[in-house]
Structure 1
Amino acid sequence: MVPQITIRSATMDDLPTLLEFQQGIVQAERPFDPTLKDGELQYHDIPSIIASTDSELVVAVADGSLIGCGYGQIRNAKDYLRHVQFCYVGLIFVRPEYRGKGANHLILDALKAWSRARNIFELRLEVYDDNVRAKRAYEKEGFKPHMLLMRTDLSN
């Protein structure tokens, strides 16, 4: 049975679970990034995101519990781009047992609507090139590969 999933804005009361979700993302991304430090990492300043008027952090709720999250943040674009601002999307996470049940779609739809309401029509996110599952999920939502960041390790 598909659970009833609702989306709402995050509050500071959600912080413990959001910090847990952030570590879930870190763990999922470790196999794709040999440059990550060991231990717990903080990719995002979640309290600042919740408090900012230029950001919207949403949570997905099912069965009375938080099952996922994601945020959109209005950022200034480079001077040479056609758009003045864009919405950066990050902290996208869905608990493994709820994946494939539509939560990711609902989270991204809420962030798209929030962005459109602010007259921001360019959304961008980052995903590891080798993370085929995540890339496929984002492509399903209309995202397309745009630029590939490349690196080399000179310590060898």
Structure 2
Amino acid sequence: MRLIRFPEGLVIVEKGGVPIGQIELQIKKIENKEIGYVNLFYLTPEYREKGYGSILIDYAESYFYKHKLKEYQLRVSTTNQRAIRFYKKYGFNLLRIEKEETVPRYRMRKCLA
């Protein structure tokens, strides 16, 4: 259903015809406002720190900007320090900690200009 509502929000990253990553984006209503939301942001380990992550961030921001959104959010495990450093490098800030069944997650957001 999400793919039907947000067809440009699913991107598979390939290199040489082999999938190396994925990003899934959607627009959600949270606290009575529409925001962009990153459901999934993933690169296989061997392709991290090679510039693909910044390309995915640029894609997400273009997508959300096109939809006239002022911010977007994502969640990340509190133990995933590498991802947290990456998101902070690109301007994300911590909103809150959300406790779940298995692992607490940070909800992070980035405001768009």
Q: TM-score range by the shorter chain?
A: 0.7 to 0.9
Instruction: Classify 1:151/1:120 alpha carbon distance in 2 versus 1 (closer, same or farther; 3 Å).
Output: closer
CA–CA separation in structure 2 for the residues paired with 1:140 and 1:124: 15
SS in 2 for 1:130: coil
**Counterpart amino acid of 2:11?**
V
How many pairs align? 102
SS in 1 for 2:70: coil
More helix by share: 1
More strand by share: 2
Please state how far the C-alpha of 1:55 moved relative to its aligned partner.
Answer: 6.3
CA–CA separation in structure 1 for the residues paired with 2:55 and 2:86: 12
CA offset digits 1:118-143 (Å, max 9, x no partner):
10121100011121111011111211
Kindly indicate whether residue 11 of structure 2 is the aligned counterpart of residue 58 of structure 1.
yes
Q: In percent, how many aligned pairs have the same letter?
A: 28
Q: Which residue does the alignment assign to 1:24?
A: none
Which structure has more RCO (C-alpha within 8 Å, separation ≥ 6)? 1
Superposition pairs of residues 127-142 of structure 1, within 5 angstroms = 127-142=76-91
Does 50-59 or 62-71 show the bigger shift? 50-59
Larger radius of gyration: 1
CA–CA separation in structure 1 for the residues paired with 2:88 and 2:19: 25
Q: Which residue does the alignment assign to 2:108?
A: none
Superposition pairs of residues 1-156 of structure 1, within 5 angstroms = 48-53=1-6, 56-79=9-32, 84-150=33-99
Instruction: Classify 1:54/1:122 alpha carbon distance in 2 versus 1 (closer, same or farther; 3 Å).
Output: farther
Q: Which residue does the alignment assign to 1:9?
A: none
- Specify every segment of 5 or more residues in structure 1 that has no aligned partner in the other structure, as ranges: 1-47
Please state how far the C-alpha of 1:149 moved relative to its aligned partner.
Answer: 2.1
Q: Which residue does the alignment assign to 1:38?
A: none
CA RMSD of superposed structures (Å): 2.2
CA–CA separation in structure 1 for the residues paired with 2:34 and 2:4: 20
**Counterpart amino acid of 1:99?**
R
TM-score normalised by the chain length of structure 1: 0.59
